[in-house]
Amino acid sequence: MKKILLIGTGGTIASEMTDDGLAPKLDSTQLLRYIPRVSELCAVDCIQLMSVDSTNMSPSGWLSIARCVETHYDAYDGFVISHGTDTMAYTAAALSYLIRNSQKPVVLTGAQKPISMDVTDSKQNLSDAFTYACDERASGVSIVFNGSVILGTRAKKVRSKSFSAFASINFPELAVLQDGRVLHYIDLGYRERAAFSHALNDSVGLVKLIPGTDAGMLNYALDRFDAVIIESFGVGGLPEGNDGCFRAAIERGIKAGKLIMITTQVQNEGSNLTVYQVGHALKQQNIIEAFDMTTEAAVAKLMWIMGETRDPDRVRERFYTPVSHDILYTESE
Ligand code: ASP
C-alpha cells in the first residue's frame, strides 16, 4: 500500500464559521476523518504546517512547504497539500520551481466550501487528490480540483464561487478523475528523485496597467523592487504617457540593474510584443517577455531565479529555459 503525507496549510476546506466569517480551524488529521475510505487506498500520515487563509500565504510559506516535502521525501510515495484556493495557483507555481522533476506526485487541493458543510466540494477534491497521488503515472507538482488535474505551472483561479474554480492556461489538463479513476492525457515522465531549491528573492513587484496609469507607479515599483512585472494589455505594449515617461522609466530601471518583464492581463494565449508599435520598441530594450506563461508562474519563476542570481543575462537565459512546461514559446512569431 502506498504511503502518502497529507500536509495541512488551512484554507476554506479546513474552515469553520466564526463571528467574523470563515477561518481555518481544522488540522489535517481532522480533515482526513471526513474521508474514511481513503484508508482502503493508502496509508496516510498527517502534518499541520500552518493554518492560514491563503490570502496570508507568502514566499516564506512556499519555502516551508517545499522544505517539508524535502524532509519527508524518501519516506513517502506522494504528497497531498491542502491549501486555500485564493493563492493556490501561486503556491503550485512556486512549488514547481522549488521541487523539480519529482517522480513522486506533489498534489495541491482545496475547496470552495468547507468540509463540514452539507453541500461541499471538499470531500470529493480531497479524495481525488489522494487517488491521483497514489496513481503510478502521477508525477510532478499539480493541482487536483473539481475532477481535473492541472499542471502546477499552468493553473489559475478563474471562478471565485463555483466548484470549477481552476483552469489550465495555455496547456492541456494532465488528467481527469471520474468515479475514483484517473484518465491520463499527459505523462510528465519524471522518473527521478526531485531536485530541491531553498531560496527565493521576493523583491518582485507587479504593476497592472489601466488606461491612463500614471508612470509614477512604474517609477515607484522600479525603485522599490529588484524586478517588476508589467501586466499590460492584449499581446503587450506600453503607453506613451506624458512625453514618453513610461519609456524613460524603463530606461532608468534597466540602467539601475532592475529586471523588467512584460506580460498580459488577458488570461489566454499570451503576449507577443512584436505585433504593435506600442510593444515593438520594448523588444530592443533588455526586457523579458512572459509569452504564454501565467502571471502566477512568471512571479514565482522570477523569485526562484533571482534567489540564485541577479545577473540580467543569466536571469533572462534561465527564464526562457522551460521548467515543468511553464513556457512553450520564447520567440515572438
Ligand atoms: N480565502 C480562502 C483561502 O484562500 C478561499 C478558499 O480556500 O477557497 O484560503
What pLDDT, in 10s, does the model give residues 177-228?
A: 999 999 999 999 898 899 999 999 999 999 999 999 999 999 999 999 999 9
Contacts of 93 (CB under 8 A, 6+ apart): 152, 153, 155, 294, 296, 297, 299, 300, 301, 326
Tell how far the Cα of 85 is from the centroid of ligand 1, in angstroms.
5
Selected catalytic residue, list 12, 109, 131, 294: 12
| Whole-prediction pTM | 0.97
Residues with CB under 6 A from ligand 1: 11-12, 53-55, 84-86, 110, 112
For 88-122, what is each residue's pLDDT tens digit?
A: 999 999 999 999 999 999 999 999 999 999 999 99
Task: Name the residue of 18, 50, 85 to mutate for ligand 1: max ligand atoms within 8 A of Cβ.
Answer: 85
- pLDDT computed for residue 243 by the predictor: 79
Phi-psi region of 84 (alpha: psi -120 to 50; beta: other; left: phi over 0): beta
Tell how far the Cα of 34 is from the centroid of ligand 1, in angstroms.
19
- Closest ligand 1 atom to the C-alpha of 13? 7
Tell how far the Cα of 143 is from the centroid of ligand 1, in angstroms.
14
Whether 12 is catalytic is: yes
- If one counts every other C-beta atom within 10 angstroms of the C-beta of residue 333, the result is 7
